[in-house]
């Protein structure tokens, strides 16, 4: 079975996307960074493929100045087991230093990465596309995990990249 890890800094909507892709509200969604303490896994059919999807705590416990070090500790296990990473950024917040650090780390991992710009209801996704492209992970895929926009396209991308 293919393994996919959802990664990214706190509060970008990883758990919301996890629930959307799994089709059930398994992960706790909260607007307070730090709510996802444990790693959640669930089986799902994505792009016609049977996958094991992992939601991660990501950087929740890390202080901003120690992000590169701490994110390895918290997310390395999920990434090591994964065949594909979904890297989530927040289309409303724009690219932050934590996003850049995370992107550098993901690029070095050599794993296939789908860059997802979440919270991109309406036109927000296209507005941040150029900025996100600078992360060196290709074109961002705008989605709204909360509203379901762009999720069909994400399924297609997953099928193409696995």
Q: Can you say which residues are annotated as belonging to the binding site?
A: 8-15, 55-59, 118-121
Q: Name the residue with the smallest CB distance to Mg ion.
A: 36
Q: Phi and psi at residue 139, in whole multiples of 5°? A: -70, 135
- End-to-end CA gap in the chain: 11
Token pair listed for 48: 């016609």
Q: Which stretch binds ligand GDP (CB under 6 A): 46-54, 78-86, 95-103, 142-150?
A: 142-150
Residue numbers belonging to the annotated binding site for GTP:
8-15, 55-59, 118-121
Token pair listed for 83: 């065949």
Token pair listed for 62: 């890390």
Is position 5 an interface residue for ligand GDP (rule: CB under 6 A)?
A: no
Q: Which stretch binds ligand GDP (CB under 6 A): 10-18, 93-101, 132-140, 151-159?
A: 10-18
Containing 118, the helix (H) or strand (E) segment is: strand 113-118
Which residues inside 13-52 make contact with Mg ion, applying CB under 5 A? 14-15, 36
Residues that bind ligand GDP (CB under 6 A): 8, 10-16, 29-31, 35-36, 118-119, 121, 144-147
């Amino acid at each position: 079975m293919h393994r996919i890890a959802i990664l990214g800094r706190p509060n970008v909507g990883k758990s919301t996307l996890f629930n959307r892709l799994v089709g059930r509200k398994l992960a706790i969604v909260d607007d307070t960074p730090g709510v996802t303490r444990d790693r959640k896994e669930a089986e799902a059919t994505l792009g016609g493929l049977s996958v094991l999807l992992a939601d991660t705590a990501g950087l929740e416990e890390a202080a901003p100045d120690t992000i590169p070090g701490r994110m390895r500790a918290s997310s390395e296990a999920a990434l090591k087991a994964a065949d594909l990473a979904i890297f989530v950024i927040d289309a409303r917040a724009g690219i932050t230093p934590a996003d850049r650090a995370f992107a550098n780390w993901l690029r070095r991992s050599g794993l296939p990465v789908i860059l997802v710009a979440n919270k991109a209801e309406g036109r927000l996704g296209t507005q941040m596309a150029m900025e996100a492209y600078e992360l060196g992970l290709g074109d961002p895929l705008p989605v709204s995990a909360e509203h379901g926009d762009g999720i069909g396209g994400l399924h297609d991308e997953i099928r193409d990249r696995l």
